[in-house]
Amino acid sequence: MFSPPTPERWRSSSSRLIGLYALLFIAWGAVFTGVLYWEISHYLGTIAQRTLMQRAHYYQKVEDADLEGELASSEVYSIPEIDAYGLFKADGQHISGDILKLRASLPDDGRVHYLERGLSVALPNEQTRSSHALLQHRNDGRILILARDGGSISAVGGIIEQALLWGLSLTLVPGLIGWQLLRRRPLRRVKLLQRCTESIVSGNLGERLPLSPRHDELDMLANAVNIMLTHIEQLMHDVKGVCDSIAHDLRTPLTRLRAHLYQLQQLPFEGAHAVTVSQALDESESIMARFQGLLRISELEDTRRRSAFETFRPAELLQQAHEFFEPLAQEHGQTLTLEIPDELSTLCGDVSLLFEALVNLLDNAIKFTPTAGEIRLRGILTGTAVILEVIDNGPGIPEADQESVTRRLFRGDTTRQQPGHGLGLSLVAAIARLHGYTLSIQAPPNSCGTSVSIRCPRPEMG
């Protein structure tokens, strides 16, 4: 029975969509923030440069003697912790201003430079984060440094970063909740569809996939499958109709043929004629055996046969089959052993059909195992199932044929010389299918021969 594994949470298509959406959102958010940050810092940088240039230009015109006073008075208008200056003697000794140390590396080219490493300032943090700075050599040899804190740009970056984090978390939390809700509903429906499909596969061809009133994509798909099922059901019905009429139309002529041949056999023929009639009668028997076999398989594929299901003890069935075949095996010089555990739980099924299946398996085993061979009839109890198994140490079924042996009328190259119609295993397969049991054919581990097993799930295990 097919049952694809339940997808992991993240594997559902809505999860993938939401995941993809989240990725796109994060990428978009990052690009947006990046551009915003770059634009703002660029803008703030330009302003800082212009302001510094303006101040430098103003102090250029101030007399050296008035410079100190001018600087102190203009301090009033500057923004504390943002704007700063430092006046130094030619030897680098600090004269006034918040900037305490002369940065010698700052070139005197009348232009504003961006310093990654902050300048030493008096207060409050001793060192700024980064700054725009300009160095001016006065005519009297003193050096003036004007600076504007670049930290404000970083602060803007920080604000944007925080905004982004808040935005993301506010989007992700409801997103995750939505994902849970969105994921569950389609999954519930898919599980329902899966259950329906399993039921259809097990033979209830009349069943249809359920449709919801929403008319969404799943409904479109289910509807398409339903239309297909109707067609398949119609076709199968037609095929069955044709088969049934062929069967019905052939039964009477076959009965007649046999009757005619039998009448002929009663006539006083001699020699070759008698042999020919006898051969014709044998052939007609063989046709009828195949015909009955084919009809029986078709009949089994009709699920109505479930009406004969009852609870039974597989141990008793195995014992009966063993007792039935033991004399035949003995006649062939083979040993047929029965291995059943003390306790083999009950099963639900059609005892007559299962006995027929065992008869076919044991008959095959005895037919294809050489003299002095060993055949084992086993009942195995596992956690969820009872396994009925026939193992022989005959020549085995070639691996290439293992799939085909359950096909109707299939006869392997090695078995063509043996009597039979090639219907036994397909009958067993049909019986297993009817019960929902699994038939498997393989070589027994570590030895030659064939192991055919029917895995019967225990009813109480669901």
Partner 1 sequence: MNCALVIEDDEVTAQAIMTELIGHGFTVQWADNGRDGLAMAIAGGYDAITLDRMLPDFDGLTIVSTLRSLGIQTPVLMISALSDVDERVRGLRSGGDDYLTKPFSTIEMVARLEVLLRRPALGASSHRLSFGELHLDLIEHTLARGEEQIPLLPTEFKLLTYLMRNAGQLVTRTMLFQEVWGYHFDPGTNIIDVHIGRLRKKIEGDGSPFIHTVRGAGYVLATDA
Q: Which residues bind partner 1 (CB under 8 A)?
A: 247-248, 251-252, 254-256, 258-260, 262-263, 266, 288-289, 291-292, 295-296, 299, 302, 304-305, 307-308, 320, 323-325, 327-328, 331, 352, 355-356, 359, 363
Shortest reach from residue 19's CB to partner 1, in Å? 55
Shortest reach from residue 321's CB to partner 1, in Å? 10
Of 307 and 417, the one with the shorter C-beta distance to partner 1 is: 307
Q: What is 324-390 written as a DSSP string? A: HHHHHHHHTT-EEEEE--S----EEE-HHHHHHHHHHHHHHHHHHSPTT-EEEEEEEE-SSEEEEEE
Shortest reach from residue 439's CB to partner 1, in Å? 18
* Residues composing the chain: 462
Query: Which residue carries 């014992």 as its tokens?
Result: 319
Shortest reach from residue 260's CB to partner 1, in Å? 8
Shortest reach from residue 457's CB to partner 1, in Å? 23
Of 62 and 287, the one with the shorter C-beta distance to partner 1 is: 287
Of 180 and 330, the one with the shorter C-beta distance to partner 1 is: 330
Of 208 and 296, the one with the shorter C-beta distance to partner 1 is: 296
Shortest reach from residue 337's CB to partner 1, in Å? 18
Shortest reach from residue 216's CB to partner 1, in Å? 43
Of 224 and 308, the one with the shorter C-beta distance to partner 1 is: 308
Could you tell me the two tokens for 380? 């195995």
Could you tell me the two tokens for 248? 């019905």
Element (H, E) at 96: strand 94-97
Of 207 and 363, the one with the shorter C-beta distance to partner 1 is: 363
Of 54 and 245, the one with the shorter C-beta distance to partner 1 is: 245
Shortest reach from residue 402's CB to partner 1, in Å? 23
Of 185 and 260, the one with the shorter C-beta distance to partner 1 is: 260
